[in-house]
Amino acid sequence: MDQQEDPGWDPRVSKLFRKIMNSVFLGLIWLLAVATAGLYFKLGYINSGNSWPAIIFYGIVAISMTALGIYLYRTWKDEF
């Protein structure tokens, strides 16, 4: 075996594993952030009096979910 060869994984497998881990990590972080803001800070509830914070919250959730989807699409459209 040549000294310059890496006895580890194939670079394509490493790239695929990195894509998987980044996708799972970002998805979980997004989900935790949305759940925390919506439940703990009560932004996800629509109260009878003032519903503007909930409307703004759901707008931000929709925009951030779209941005996450675009990022994941661009990440996974390339061949590994």
E strand or H helix at 79: none
Q: Is the whole model's pTM more than 0.85, yes or no?
A: no
Exposure of 19 in the CB half-sphere (CA atoms within 13 A): 16
The domain limits of the chain are: 27-77
Position 4 pLDDT exceeds 60: no
Distances (CA, A) of 33 to 25, 38, 47: 12, 8, 21
Contact in structure between 67 and 25 (CB atoms under 8 Å): no
What are the pLDDT digits (tens) for 7-49?
688 888 889 999 999 999 999 999 999 999 999 999 999 888 8
* Position with higher pLDDT, 59 vs 4: 59
The separation between the first and the last C-alpha atoms of the chain, rounded to the nearest angstrom, is: 26
Q: Which residue has the higher pLDDT, 4 or 30?
A: 30
pLDDT, position 48: 81
